[in-house]
Structure 1
Amino acid sequence: MKPMQAPATITKIYLPTADARDEKTAALYRHMGLTANEVRKVISSPLRINRNTLFQLGLFVLLAFIFLAPQHAFTSTGTGGSLPYEGWL
């Protein structure tokens, strides 16, 4: 059986930055294939977090804390007969 090579799609993500106003940084973005209009979009793209996104991020942090926190032992260790029936266990 031959090894299968799946086709791949290259995705570039440019985060919003005000540093693209600098001519050196803008030239770097143009060298990476962006047009002047796309560089302007990178400069002016505000990062918008609405109420729903903030709620989902908080829920994610809470669930991550619950699942990644060390679990406590739910069983007790015998102390040598502190309960009436522990002597015969």
Structure 2
Amino acid sequence: GTSRPTHYQVLVDQIGFSADALQELVHNLSYVYQRSTTAISLVAPISYAHLAAKQVSQFLKFDDVSDSSSSNGSETNPSNGGMALQQLPRMNTYLKGSMFFC
């Protein structure tokens, strides 16, 4: 694991971090990834979000729908290029309190 310089932009700072405190937090979060004993290039919460999105993408199938009618229970949203939006599957109750991505 190699640490690489990253650039983060704070959009809303509800906690009131100083620049030094935020830099220290980002540095410390690069060491708490469960799958690595060394620093990773992105902070752990971002890596976990990528893992969760990758796993969910295996269960979802996006169909390109050119017209606005829907016959499979999904909604068509013109703002995303006519992609059919399906409801996300419900999470198993056993997974809600666990770190399933580790």
**TM class, shorter-length:** under 0.3
Structure with the greater alpha carbon radius of gyration = 1
TM-score (normalised: structure 1): 0.23
TM-score (normalised: structure 2): 0.21
Is the strand fraction higher in 1 or 2?
2
